[in-house]
Amino acid sequence: MRFSKHRTQMTVCILLIIVLLASTLNALQTEAGPGTEPLTFDYSAEDGYQGDYIVVLNSNYPMGRRLSTGFLNKLIETDIPVLDVGDNRVPDPNIYRSKAYQMDDPYTSKVADGQMLERNSWDVGSQRNFIVERTSTSPGGKSIAFQVLAVGKFCRIWTPLNPDYYPLDEIDLTYAQKAANEFDAQFPHTTRVFGDFLDLCEDGLVNLLFYNIDSPLISGITYPQDLYDQVTVRGQLADSNAAPMIHIDTLGIAGIVRIDARMEESHDITRCFPVMTHEFQHLIYESKRYRDPDYRAYWEAQEKQSIYLSNLENETWMTEHLSAAAAILRYPRIFRDDYVPYWYDRNANYEDVCHHFSRHAEVAANKNYMIQRGRTIYQWKGDKDDYSLVAFLAQFAYTRGGEEVFQKAWEIWDGLRDKSGKPKPVQAVAEALGYMDFASFHQDFVLSFLFNDAASEGGRYRLFFDQGDGDPGQMQEALSLLKPPIITGNEAKIEVGGYVVFKPIGGVYVPPITAMEGLQYVGITVNELD
């Protein structure tokens, strides 16, 4: 019965996608004209803002203030369906944690006693102790013994000797070479678009460590500390790895091996392919920052802390935006697997979203996502909706500026970060796209990921970009399911760089006298097309 239910849900999802894609294709083939475009936009306050939806924006970024919509009771519709998330994951994520982290790895002493090989001699079978698991409770990390399983043209695949850390070769003997082949295949594109990595070992190889990362939520991680011989943590000197390195999870919620709600295991090496590219961009970003002596001084001796810490959120936002771009350019299916479902709920999957929109035309804003309720969308907090938004922005930027826009944005940001006034990295993205004022950028981006409309307003609010290969694939399927999350409360307070969406009663909205000045309104009408 479980198989039948799953097959039914997938059938509903596929049928819904066919309907949505057909309507999208019909819209794209319709010649634009009065009353024939899929969406009509009302920017004028005269006679009220008309539309099925009202988008309210606070575009006074970054130096403005939080603004209230005023009281919305009896002005907006409140009966909006909430997305239901299926029971599709293991009940307790802690099941992914290894007890091995509670003790020292016994294999490290054996490797050390065997006189570990130095750089440039790490061939298949070579063994080395590396520092991993740098956490807030253990900032110095933990030493684990690794061995080389495969060496590619641009990478080296390592996995633990200790079976308690879920080594890659114990999952499948072929996985190491498959991972190396995939990394090699993507390396030329990633380095061309985003730059090269810091080749400390002078062998042209990135070291990929595959093991059970202790946090069950982390699919991969890149530590800036890995590039240094030693780092200072809380005033204490600690050894580090002095090698370009990426860490990939073998067992976890988003790992190579996963456990479902029925406690059944599945494994697939392709799950980590987008993660490798995402993390490789992080390594490239850290390689660029390594050239800044003040940045190195922070990691090596904790000097210049105020400079580094005051800009930490901005640095994180920019590198996550670029890593999202690196992944979507090569693996557009990640919109389907991660970014669209996570935009609605951190625990949702694609089938949940398909199931909802097969029954409902609209979705309520997530009560746990303040980013859908007025929080600035250009702030990094590390939540699932933050990852979705930087991916949507990467797609928005690529659609308008091509692949070169990402390096251009980085160069602008690199020149802005130390200037007074605390500029934000998203301003560099807007400038790279040619926007002269942030309000226009903010409006275009928000309306693009809320409505993804290529046929109205000359394609101004498009998100999907057809590369002309005749196979739009899973990205277009996923983006067709982007709908505006609708608020239903009595008031919204919108931060600078934030927005909200609601449905006005009667299709016309006149802001109440309690609304604060400085907000921007757009009415959107969904037209019936033959």
pLDDT tens string 302-357: 887 877 888 889 999 999 999 999 999 999 999 999 999 999 999 999 999 999 99
Question: Distance between CA atoms of 154 and 169, rounded to whole angstroms?
Answer: 20
Average pLDDT over residues 82-109: 87
In terms of domains, do 248 and 130 share one? yes
Would the pLDDT of 212 be above 90?
yes
| Residue 54 within any structural domain of the chain | yes
Do both 222 and 142 map to the same domain? yes
Least confident interval from 193-202, 231-240, 321-330, 508-517: 231-240
Q: Is the dihedral of CA 46, 47, 52, 54 positive or negative?
A: positive
**CA atoms 481, 482, 483, 486: torsion sign:** positive
Confidence of residue 421 (pLDDT cuts 50, 70, 90): low
Confirm whether 15 is domain-assigned: no
Q: Which domain holds residue 471?
A: 38-79+335-526
Give the residue from 310, 343, 372 where a domain finishes: 310
pLDDT, residue 234, reads 79
Task: Give CA–CA dist 20/472, Å, rounded.
Answer: 13
Q: What is the pLDDT of residue 468?
A: 55
Are 302 and 439 contained in the same domain? no
Does residue 16 fall inside a structural domain?
no
Q: pLDDT of 143-163, one tens digit each?
A: 999 999 999 999 999 999 999
Choose between 10 and 411: higher pLDDT.
411
Q: Is residue 18 part of a domain?
A: no
Q: Are residues 196 and 50 in the same domain?
A: no
4 belongs to a structural domain: no
Q: Are the C-beta atoms of 430 and 493 separated by less than 8 Å?
A: no
Find out whether 496 and 48 touch, Cβ atoms under 8 Å: no
Element (H, E) at 155: strand 155-160
Tell me what pLDDT residue 3 has.
35
Does 108 have pLDDT greater than 90?
Answer: yes
> What confidence tier does 422 reach under pLDDT thresholds 50, 70, 90?
low
Q: Are residues 296 and 344 in the same domain?
A: no
The two tokens of residue 139 are 């900032």
| Ranges 120-124, 254-258, 511-515: which has the least confidence | 120-124
For residue 24, the model assigns a pLDDT of 46
Give the type of residue at 500.
V
- Helices 425-432 and 384-401 meet at what angle, rounded to 10? 20
Tokens of 310: 């005051």
Structure tokens at 133: 């698991």
> What element of type H or E holds 501?
strand 498-502
Q: Does residue 329 fall inside a structural domain? A: no
pLDDT reading at 208 higher than 90: yes
Choose the final residue of a domain: 310, 343, 364: 310
Helix (H) or strand (E) holding 54: strand 53-58
| pLDDT tens digits, 12-37 | 455 555 444 444 444 443 334 455 78
Same domain, 119 and 256: yes
Residue type, 94: N
User: Does some domain include residue 147?
Assistant: yes
Please report whether residue 19 resides in a domain: no
Beta-carbon contacts of residue 168 (< 8 Å; ≥ 6 apart) = 149, 157, 159, 175, 176, 179, 210, 211, 250, 256
Same domain (yes/no): 444, 352:
yes
222 in the same domain as 348: no
Q: For residues 422 and 478, state if they share a domain.
A: yes
Q: For residue 472, give both structure tokens.
A: 């739009």
Query: Pick from 276, 310, 344: which residue ends a domain?
Result: 310
Rounded to an integer, the average pLDDT of 365-384 is 96
Q: Do 240 and 225 touch, CB atoms closer than 8 A?
A: yes
Bridge-based pairing of strands 142-151 and 155-160 is antiparallel
The encoded tokens of residue 109 equal 């002493």
Tally of CB atoms within 10 A around 493 = 15
In terms of domains, do 301 and 181 share one?
Answer: yes
Residue 361 pLDDT exceeds 90? yes
Number of compact structural domains in the chain? 2
Q: Do 239 and 371 share a structural domain?
A: no
Whole-model pTM: value is 0.91
Task: Check whether residue 154 and residue 194 sit in a common domain.
Answer: yes
Q: Is 256 helix (H, G, I), strand (E, B) or coil?
A: coil
